[in-house]
Structure 1
């Protein structure tokens, strides 16, 4: 692999040093992520970025011919981290295709399980993976001047979280040794137990089915959940102000850091947490019951909410090719020509797509990834939406829609108010997440903390509603159904790290076509047929470099923060290639222990 040293113009402009660097793999459960960059060390900026995935899974192929009732058990294995989100989305899809409406108790139990999953996954990713990028050891090695400033900067909320300076917070995030790092590991145990109480097994649920759940509702069940939830509430009262102090400091210590990982505000949220009083899972009523979800679906473009209509969201999905290893399906069979409302369904919609893999040698001028390029068509442009790591899009869409008001959580039109009640060690606390100026690395990370508090507050509401059902004697949690010979359905929810949809077509009582679209391809896709880069590529390309190390000892911390802010599943290893002069040498990454 060669490095290009680009000479300056004849006017005497200084030479640029354009260095090719690659991190591959940044290993993920749903594939193997690689980030390939060209960095201009004179301009201190990433000049070019390509995002690759080197693993082909093929779920859309081997789902064909399966019993539709098995779809959620199979698709939960797509991921070893958010498998329950896939199971839930598949169950939603089956409910529509089978024409079944679960009892209210079944939906409240499922909501409680998913709330626990958001708390579990966001917490462990934020503190034990993302947090390491801001810990003492990493900051010392990449920005020693920032570390020196952190030692003398008081933490504004130190009286709440107990750390006097920003440096103390960074030290608390050191892997395995830091106090807050270890506390997060302990908290993750409670949230995992909460999940298992509702869905039986983590991360592949054993109690979820089309038509409801197999979990038996009892006072003991909900009490056990509540006891663990209040420990988490106590933790969040400390966690939110701690992260606000840390992230606000980054802006203060490094002017211009708002541009790290920044891209145009193009956010997609498919909504989460059904309200059984309104949700009947029929496509004809999807617009109405979608807007009753406790996380509002929506598309946000340049800070403006352009729709909250799940039907419009569904019809706008397009799966594009361009830089991925697949043949086009333009001449293949069309499965769904019109939706149940009579709307035209595009050939590039998931109901009609075909997976035709064509392995090739990676070529950044042609095809270089196994990820296709999902886009949302607004009638004019194919928008490269991202999920903001999940939390940013959820909070942004919910805030602007202003539809959620359940006491514990209220959307105001430009913010989300989160109210946590009195707990064993502290009184009631209210937080307010306000729509930020940027869609960037710091705000994706900040939103992840606030959405943990949101999930805890929402879970308190779900517990209240479940106990109402229990005390009224309405404990039935499953509704019988029959599988049609012909039919189709779709499900929409939020995986922890963002939008998740499943689309299924049934023929002769078997699955004829099935396509799950999780957040990873929405965020990690390559350049499409129009040349539009995917969100990882877009967010990294143009990112300024604040790291104080030169090319010879470069760790790529600003790039890593940008990529990890999207929460692309769990990173476990990073390899970096760099070199001197015109020859690239392969070296072990200094980042690897923290990857």
Structure 2
């Protein structure tokens, strides 16, 4: 007889996610992913000036704070066929790469590491042995016996106080934890060091965009004055500071993040659950010339089906027959019926909550059970994110990605096939961080050289005036966000937004079943996974966290006071 495990909320993510799993004979035989907040930001954008869309859209999320701005900017600029200056392209690319490196470091250490690192075990470590192990892993300066001893003493004081703070409710001592005590102590030390590194890195956003989170942008370029000799613009000293911060991040990646990943892969190389659908979608990103020239994208685009790396298919977000969203198992409805999917240009956000009011015992999985819609590429589910991008880079013989993957897999002793797993998804994110750190350095060097050549332009005023716009226009803004393929579709009519729809990475990955009953990436990744202790389902957390969920992106707006879904009225 089957038993249902309910994990609600999934913690160490952004937003509210509920996972239900049907267990039989110690394995998961059915899985259901539910976003438990209601989405509505698309309705807020209707009727607005499209030049303001980036500022509103970036409030979708405070974690991937810059990516929704970039998607919104590109959507409007695509609709208006509005080119931006070369310097603006550099600045946007650099800011996007910075949020990748920042986001991936935060995810590995602060959101995902505790699925692999046993905090209680670190209390038993020998600091001298931890120091010796750390020095074998890399030449990172913070690796003395005294350093690890002091950290261990701090941890003991926290435990003895009875107030575990961020370490409360962990499954410490679970038999799935395999790291030696000394390695647990090393990764715990780096957990704390990563808090400092992520704080430093986003200073780049404050220089280029005025603040973080939610830095400033402008349709047509960047509101970032450049003058090497001015005190009121981005000058030589600030550019030097940005360069130093990039070098500091690269050092952290090379000497801390990657060695930790290799150590983790060594001890968990046999834990290869969570592969899921093995369909991967990428839009591509980091245009080296113009966002309108997709051939110049550093990240390649395409679709891989059933893990076949020898047959990369093209993807076209502008093609209305390719990407559709279904609502058969989502708390929405469509005018004209729910059987057919809708391309986002025809997309609608019509609430249709039919389930029991929360809190509820179990989801009604035969009917509607999530506030997340179900996107499909040619009616097929897709996984998006770092694993998808690294697989795409490998399949397309990318000049930077493929060699980095081969080297990293060789050092970790993992075959390429091992990447189709929770461990592989986490490992791919680290490889991506490494290659992006190097690409960030390259882009910054090119940007400085361009400024020194005499080009200081960051804004193109050509189409800023709505009088120069067509009566109706529609566009798509594509971005490879840290968590995967992101796109905003816009329709502009008479100078205002007529319709706006976004499909975000977590919508792809966390989607409920479609009309055929086909599972999305989260649900499929949990199938046939053995669970050692249903009361401590560490296996579920490992797999779901490996995707780095951001439910705030996928769904929005909830009543925290009454724990009820909101009734939204649009006048």
**Which band: TM-score by shorter chain?**
0.7 to 0.9
1:555–1:351 CA distance, 2 compared to 1 (3 A): same
Superposed, 1:3-402 pairs within 5 Å as 6=1, 18-26=2-10, 31-40=15-24, 43-137=25-119, 158=137, 160=139, 166-173=180-187, 178-206=188-216, 208-217=217-226, 218-238=235-255, 239-251=257-269, 255=270, 257-258=271-272, 260-276=273-289, 279=290, 281=292, 289-301=293-305, 302-304=307-309, 305-310=311-316, 315-330=321-336, 348-361=342-355, 362-377=363-378, 382-387=379-384, 390-402=385-397
How much has 1:535 moved relative to structure 2? 1.2
How much has 1:306 moved relative to structure 2? 2.1
Q: Structure 1: state its 5+ residue gaps.
A: 1-5, 7-17, 145-149, 282-288, 333-345, 419-429, 572-595
Distance 1:451 1:89 in 2: 21
- Of 486-495 and 300-309, deviating more is 300-309
TM-score (norm 1): 0.76
Q: Which residue of 2 aligns with 1:284?
A: none
Q: Structure 2: state its 5+ residue gaps.
A: 146-178, 227-234, 356-362, 553-571
How much has 1:57 moved relative to structure 2? 2.2
1:310–1:365 CA distance, 2 compared to 1 (3 A): closer
1:194–1:365 CA distance, 2 compared to 1 (3 A): same
Structure whose residues are more often helix by fraction: 2
Q: Which residue of 2 aligns with 1:452?
A: 433
1:348–1:28 CA distance, 2 compared to 1 (3 A): farther
Distance 1:367 1:76 in 2: 28
1:535–1:297 CA distance, 2 compared to 1 (3 A): same
Is the contact between residue 247 and residue 441 of structure 2 (CA under 8 Å) also seen in structure 1? no
Distance 2:264 2:144 in 1: 11
What SS is found at the alignment partner of 2:75?
helix
Q: Which residue of 1 aligns with 2:444?
A: 463
Q: Does 1:523 pair with 2:509?
A: yes
How much has 1:216 moved relative to structure 2? 2.2
Q: Which residue of 2 aligns with 1:421?
A: none
Moved over 3 A (4+): 27-31, 138-141, 153-157, 159-167, 308-315, 329-332, 409-412, 414-418, 430-438
Distance 1:505 1:319 in 2: 17
Q: Which residue of 1 aligns with 2:539?
A: 558
TM-score (norm 2): 0.79
Is the contact between residue 262 and residue 543 of structure 1 (CA under 8 Å) also seen in structure 2? no
Output one character per residue of 1:472-521: Cα deviation in whole Å (capped at 9) or x when no partner.
11110110114323101001111211110000001111111100111111
Structure whose residues are more often strand by fraction: 1
How much has 1:194 moved relative to structure 2? 2.0
How much has 1:172 moved relative to structure 2? 2.8
Distance 2:246 2:415 in 1: 25
Q: Which residue of 2 aligns with 1:581?
A: none
Distance 1:442 1:139 in 2: 21
